[in-house]
Chains A and B, each alone.
Chain A
């Protein structure tokens, strides 16, 4: 089968009689090339990936999607050349699943259900692999994706340069990485992001229902109340929250992602599938139901965001509660809670945002990249 570049550039180069090796193309500007025939993407058996502006784009790095500790060690001890040589040598050995793997599988399960109900819609999850790995690792990553039967067609292997620009280009709704610096950079660019860690203990999670749990302050909401608590203590915090009960909290970095999940949930409700909805969201907060929690609920309501379950722990440890919920991912701004959750087998991701970060240094963090 021979492909003529004129066909490849369909709709663009028709008037030009170009030879097979020419790049006769738009006058110095490549924007016009976007008018590529979308129907002819060439994926005949698999569903077509949605347009970025329609999809809920989740970008994951290779180190959170898969387990790459052995390779990381080679990189740290022997340098980049040896690391790449090692990767190529083991190219046909797929990586094993990493912390974000169950989450990604659950996203795909939701997509299946969405496609059943809305076959023409592009409002789906789109998973993009965004890694600053070198393209030499590309074949091994592709082999691994094939092995695990993941639906990932889009990726950026930046060969060392910052992936942040690409996150924006993909209109990323959530970025998960093992690198806290990259996550912080993404947050500062307004992209919801969290750092993930590899843990040995992982409890089983549902394969049919996506469960996402969020901390409240400095994750869904801003860190304004937490600042008061840190600066003036618990009593002042309660007083402040009571006095400001009817004032909405400002939004936090993960609010947008909860919103995106809510939009997809409504698509199931519209087809009478509220009880059987494959997406379930949880708020797991140290606030108390009777007092400080009220402001949180009022804020969510004012934002038009429904959360399926709100758990007010009034300061009790989050680990046991999360162990019951079994979320695919839990977002918290405090490493103390992330670690606590991980000890009980919950996949917890750290959102390095807000005042709590200044206090994280004191915690014993075992970050395995």
Chain B
């Protein structure tokens, strides 16, 4: 059973233009079982939502009738959180989060709520949830377990796997990933080089400069221009990742 509640405090986004990002409520609020305390602790995704909101604010500053905005949806699927639905909604208000919809479902059909809400990117801290969602064709990513501290929304793309056009047609999930990337690219173009609320970062872990160069060119051909690029050529990732401070990390393959 899936139910969706609209947040009347927030102006709803244009369905066919907005970039719908779904986040599990568990990652946003850490509501203890204790009923007495109304205000929940903020979770690891909280800075991410703030960063998404800042991007929206800046987009609207550039163009008040902008429709290419982030549309944030909160997904609640575990039963404990279900009981906290009113607290989730009230905490959203309390923290001034621009969440447009709350989706409640059981653990079995949370993917249904993703599909119903036309989610372009699903973010969670749970590896299994991410796997399940992607099997249903929803582009998913894992949230950074350590809270990212930058104000700027930093999206790191791991560009290692470059797929050459095969005889097989692209799958729905590949299409979803590509369209998400194209949307981000378009959003990035709304801002100048300096002082952008959004930064696109390319990281290639394996392969050498050729892989990185190819990834840069392929992305550019799809209208996605990177701000930063790092080629590790086999060096350990974690020192670099901790410096990059991504809000989330996307692993994808591109098609030529």
Contact = CB atoms under 8 A, between A and B. Distances in A.
Interface in B85-130: 125-128, 130
Interface string B119-160: 000000111101101110101111111100000000000001
B142 A49 contact: no
B12 interface: no
Interface in B180-207: 192-194, 199, 201-202, 205-207
A1 B208 contact: no
B219 to A, nearest CB: 10
Interface centre among B126, B162, B237 (most CB of A within 10 A): B237
B233 A153 contact: yes
Contact of A28 (B44, B131, B164): B44
A160 interface: yes
B63 to A, nearest CB: 19
A153 B213 CA distance: 11
Interface stretch (A135-143, A290-298, A299-307): A135-143
B241 interface: yes
B177 A81 contact: no
B229 A135 contact: yes
Given A42-B206, A49-B208, A18 B226 contact: no
B1 interface: no
Contacts of A21: 134, 137, 139-140, 171, 173-174, 176-177, 252
Grouping DSSP codes into helix (H, G, I), strand (E, B) and loop, the A interface class, with mixed when no group exceeds half, is loop
Contacts of B168: 2
Given A18-B131, A145-B209, A28 B144 contact: yes
A152 B227 CA distance: 21
Interface string A34-71: 10101011110010110110000000000000000000
A138 B177 CA distance: 24
A311 interface: no
B42 interface: no
B169 interface: no
A139 B213 contact: yes
Interface in A144-158: 145-146, 152-158
A95 interface: no
A33 B242 CA distance: 13
Nearest to B251: A23
Contact of B137 (A19, A48, A80, A170): A19
A201 B76 CA distance: 69
A19 B127 contact: no
A142 B209 contact: yes
A270 interface: no
A29 B242 CA distance: 11
Residue among A17, A26, A42, A51 facing the most chain B CB atoms (10 A cut-off):
A42
5 tightest Cβ-Cβ pairs between the two chains A and B: A28-B145, A22-B134, A153-B208, A21-B173, A169-B239
Interface of B: 44, 125-128, 130-131, 133-135, 137, 139-146, 160-164, 166, 168, 171, 173-174, 176-177, 192-194, 199, 201-202, 205-213, 216-217, 220, 225-241, 243, 249-253
Given A24-B131, A153-B231, 6 more contacts: A19-B134, A20-B253, A23-B134, A27-B127, A135-B216, A139-B217
19 contacts: A19-B131, A19-B134, A19-B173, A21-B176, A23-B142, A25-B130, A27-B125, A30-B249, A31-B238, A33-B205, A36-B206, A40-B206, A42-B208, A134-B227, A136-B225, A138-B216, A142-B216, A156-B230, A159-B201
